[in-house]
Amino acid sequence: MRSRLNELPPCGDESMSEKNDLIKEMLEMQKMFQEYESANGVDPQEYYTPKAGDKLEGYREKYHELAAKVREIASEEVNFWK
């Protein structure tokens, strides 16, 4: 069976590299969160409204920012918004 990956249009190396770097960072963040949750448990309040200096401070915002960048790059790659 032939892979459909061969049928995809070529992507710019620069955007692919940036997207890969962003995804790698997201995966590292997920790993950190999973390890923290396994060791400490995570209360919804701690996740949604962490106190200053908490391990999860800024986590949701940063992850959302990275996901938005990946989505933007992927959309450009397939000309989704054009």
User: Do 26 and 62 touch, CB atoms closer than 8 A?
Assistant: no
DSSP letters along 31-51, please? Answer: HHHHHHHHHH---HHHHHSPP
Give the separation between CA 16 and CA 52, rounded to whole angstroms: 35
Distance in angstroms (rounded) separating the CA atoms of residues 82 and 73: 13
Instruction: Supply 32's token pair.
Output: 């950190």
The pTM of this model reads 0.73
What is the model's pLDDT at position 78? 84
Instruction: With CA atoms as reference, report the closest residue to 56 among 47, 44, 67.
Output: 47
pLDDT, tens digit only, all 82 positions of the chain: 454 544 444 555 666 799 999 999 999 999 999 999 999 999 999 999 999 999 999 999 999 999 999 999 988 888 755 5
